[in-house]
Chain A
């Protein structure tokens, strides 16, 4: 079973997406800060990481500003866990930040703009490697 890790300080914002992915047979885990997520990645196999940008960095990374935690986090995941596919799910509209993320190879989805079904399909295709959706 594929595990999808969601990191968002407001889990309610991804609740519908998680329920739909669970209905499709995925195992979804929701964590609320970068430190907890790094711990989880070290211990468990994760297929896809879906992360917010503005969120707490947690105890292990006190120097990171919460307004761009996700950027640091996704970069760190790329370096330490290159096998994990990364999707950024945020409401942030700052183009420079988005460009930075895309350059890092992350797929960027804006909350509320992508439909629930499309978001679930995109995550599903990233997890299974099946792009034919």
Chain B
């Protein structure tokens, strides 16, 4: 090996070391972020329970604490489901072994249940989550959507959770459905932090979080939309995002033939 080759190898080694250090730093920061997200709701639940047991806290205020416990528990369940789902979906995707077992689902009922789950969190910011039942009746009538219920529920939850987190105070989040000859789209409309065109291009990437999103809510896993998009891919569909200023619309798009 001559001197030049040796120098090139040393440089390459140096470069790889610095790349590894960078990856480690990003992973550490990510883990810290995840730990933050798991610990924060647990801490709030613990203190709320202590508050409920404390006789000095007036009875009239204790209802607030119960509501907080419920909303924090919902956040935790949702977060943990996302992590479990991510490792399962990744493994299935890598091995190409995803076996779909679709069931006929009443999507309006699913949307209403999910909207109700997020109401307590929304209430803290004066938000309303409304399901446009007329649009669901019109599209579905007596038909059902054939989907993997738990996966789609998680995809829809992830989008609703973002809407609740990033919406303007006292605004309304609207869930509705539209269909044409090729697709069925479940739309989640909200008004809140704007998403730039540049961010739109990366929004479904794993661990991506927009600048404004990070400024409004410091902690986040950056996996919610990535998972939603992966879930929809497994259904032969996709997630689309349309924005206009502070308005954003996320659409879960299913192939029309799932409506039977």
- Chain A interfacial positions (CB closer than 8 Å to B): 9-17, 19-20, 23-24, 54-57, 62, 66-67, 69, 91-94, 111-113, 115-117, 119
Contact status A91-B47, CB under 8 Å: no
B48 an interface residue at 8 Å Cβ cutoff? yes
Q: Which residues of B contact A9 (CB under 8 A)?
A: 216-218
Known: A20-B54, A111-B40, A116-B54. A15 touches B48 (CB 8 A): yes
CB < 8 Å: which of B39, B54, B56, B64 contacts A112?
Answer: B39
CB < 8 Å: which of A55, A62, A69, A111 contacts B39?
Answer: A111
Contact status B44-A13, CB under 8 Å: yes
B229 an interface residue at 8 Å Cβ cutoff? no
Contact status A56-B216, CB under 8 Å: yes
Among B65-73, B106-114, B133-141, B174-182, which stretch is in contact with chain A? B65-73
B23 an interface residue at 8 Å Cβ cutoff? no
Contact status A91-B40, CB under 8 Å: yes
Known: A16-B51, A24-B56. A112 touches B215 (CB 8 A): no
20 extra interchain contacts, Cβ-Cβ under 8 A, other than A16-B47, A66-B214, A66-B215? A11-B124, A12-B71, A12-B124, A13-B47, A16-B57, A16-B68, A17-B51, A19-B51, A19-B58, A19-B65, A20-B57, A54-B219, A57-B215, A67-B29, A91-B40, A92-B36, A111-B44, A112-B44, A113-B43, A115-B50
Contact status A23-B56, CB under 8 Å: yes
Q: Which residues of A contact B217 (CB under 8 A)?
A: 9, 56
The CA of A69 and the CA of B215, in the complex, are separated in Å by 10
Tell me the chain B residues, 21-68 only, with Cβ under 8 Å from chain A: 29, 32-33, 35-36, 39-44, 46-48, 50-51, 54, 56-58, 61, 64-65, 68
